[in-house]
Amino acid sequence: MEALPLRLGLTMWSHNNWQQSFYGSGTKPAERLEKYAKVFHTVEGNTTFYATPSISTVNNWKAATHDEFRFTFKLPKAITHQQMLKGSKVLLKDFMQIMEPLHERIGQWTIQLPAAFGPEHLSALKQFCALFPPNFPIGVEVRHPEFFAKGEAEKALNHWLIESGYDRIIMDSRPVFAAKPDNEAIIDAQMKKPKVPVHAIATASHPMIRFIGNPEENKNYDFFAPWLNKLPEWITQGKQPYVMIHTADNIIAPELAANIYRMLQDHVALPDLAPFPANDGNSQIQMF
């Protein structure tokens, strides 16, 4: 199968509010991943950040997906946040052994670092990444302000990522921070999501954009407009970007992602998405 020019995905594959709009009313929770993977190309595996799954769960995830699908699992927070990557060799080995059935379906292993992980910890990141085999698909998400200041700290990080072939994950949280904090979902998102500058740099072959959208769909498209030029540019250079769409409550995330993908198709040749399972083969995209 020819490689996809771009991979589109969401932050999750299971959401109760998608039962009618995405999955179809007869879908059981255990069937959601299989239906999700027939439409989207990837998913952000947030679940592994909070708890390591059982081997039976990992095997179920493998059975529900196909060989062309890709997960971008986060490493456990015990490694990235509690231990700040130090002394984590055994924890990492144990986690990777449990995840082994899915190793061939990993787009990126995401190392999401806390805001406290600053330039003084860069050597710990380098030592930690040395534990992985060569050419291992790694994405690094930093949140410390110095890594966005365009100074020596950011230059050192980017240079090392480029040299190592690791992707720097790009957080675009502008839409959610532009929203009025007038409901619980927005307030919660603005408290938890990092408000960092958007630096559209591709340090390796699979630049990932985490686009944190506004729950009101039509308030997202102006913010996404610059990506309509940058993503085709990267594709022309032979890169395969990952576009991960979130919203504060994720209720409209499938529709927002599908509409964004349709907009991208006006700028670069991309294969059509399959219809949402709930639509029984009918076009699921309702443009604004």
Q: Could you report the per-residue pLDDT of 213-270, keeping only the tens digit for each? A: 988 899 999 999 999 999 999 999 999 999 999 998 999 999 999 999 999 999 999 9
- Would the pLDDT of 135 be above 90? no
pLDDT-derived band at 283, boundaries 50, 70, 90: very low
Q: What percent of the chain has pLDDT over 70?
A: 96
Prediction pTM value: 0.93
pLDDT bin (cut points 50, 70, 90) of residue 280 is: low
The pLDDT tens digits for 51-67 are 999 999 999 999 999 99
Domains of the chain (ranges, CATH numbers): 7-279 (3.20.20.410)
Residues 69-93 have pLDDT tens digits of 999 999 999 999 999 999 999 999 9
CA atoms of 38 and 80, how far apart (whole Å): 31
